[in-house]
Copies of this chain bind each other. A is one copy, B any other.
Amino acid sequence: MQTPAFQRARSVEHKQQRRDEMLAAARDLAAAHGVRAVTMTDIANEVGVHKSGVLRYFETREAVFLELLTEGWTEWMDACVPAIYQANGNPAKVAKAIAGTLAKRPLFCDLLAHAPMNLERGVSVEAVREFKASAFRQIDRFERAVTTALPKLTKADARALISAANAFASTLWQISHPTAAVAELYRTDPHLAHAVVDFAPSLRRQTETTILGLLTRRQNG
């Protein structure tokens, strides 16, 4: 918990600063404890204001996390798109570019799983519209990069690829980050050895399989 430099932000500049502090607090708390566990009260305590102070900036906790997810999409593509271009048309390297940049962003992977189930249900329709419009602009960047790097793939293929990669990232992240008690169970019960999933290599392999499948479908006409 911090002691804020001012109790209530009144200038535009202070308001922006307070908002950024709240987003940073949510980011830190979610990275440490998982998105699921973080409440508005946690965020308020971390910033050093009352919960009502957070509610002045964000309608719900879901609005906070949807904003982090929006910024996460842009930030992911800023890393992923150049990596795809550098893959020189090699399918395995394109898979590595996508999966590798996702695996370096655990909070983004956690947020992806929460988006349709929780985040989009806990905000206004207007907030969903803004989030979707922003995410689609990033998906457009992905489509251009993939269809340039692997010219046999269509825009629809690139969209299927990002949908699959997001599905793998969000589900594999949750599966590979169980509670401490469940993780201990997996380590100690020989019948449950299969339950241990190694996040980054599984994500990369599943993404590569999808690219190979899409290329095979195009080759078969």
Is A56 an interface residue when CB atoms closer than 8 A count as contact? no
Known: A36-B118, A182-B128. A216 touches B206 (CB 8 A): no
Is A133 an interface residue when CB atoms closer than 8 A count as contact? yes
List the B side residues contacting A79 at CB < 8 Å: none
* A121/B179 in contact, CB under 8 A: yes
CA distance A114 to B117 in the complex (A): 9
Closest Cβ neighbor of A211 among chain B residues: B213
Is A171 an interface residue when CB atoms closer than 8 A count as contact? yes
List the B side residues contacting A191 at CB < 8 Å: 133, 136
Closest Cβ neighbor of A114 among chain B residues: B117
A91 CB to nearest B CB, Å? 10
Is A101 an interface residue when CB atoms closer than 8 A count as contact? no
* A120/B179 in contact, CB under 8 A: yes
Q: Which of A116, A167, A181, A184 has the most CB of B within 10 A?
A: A116
CA distance A46 to B136 in the complex (A): 41
CA distance A151 to B124 in the complex (A): 50
List the B side residues contacting A189 at CB < 8 Å: 129
List the B side residues contacting A65 at CB < 8 Å: none
* A164/B128 in contact, CB under 8 A: no
Is A52 an interface residue when CB atoms closer than 8 A count as contact? no
Closest Cβ neighbor of A177 among chain B residues: B116
A219 CB to nearest B CB, Å? 9
**Contact among B129, B163, B179, B213 with A210 in the assembled complex (CB-CB below 8 Å):** B213
Given contacts A120-B179, A128-B182, 10 further A-B contacts (CB under 8 A): A116-B174, A125-B181, A125-B184, A133-B191, A160-B206, A163-B171, A208-B213, A209-B217, A213-B216, A216-B216
**Residues in chain A within 8 A of chain B (CB atoms):** 36, 113-114, 116-118, 120-121, 125, 128-129, 132-133, 136, 139, 159-160, 163-164, 166-168, 170-172, 174-175, 178-179, 181-182, 184-185, 189, 191-192, 194-195, 202, 205-206, 208-217
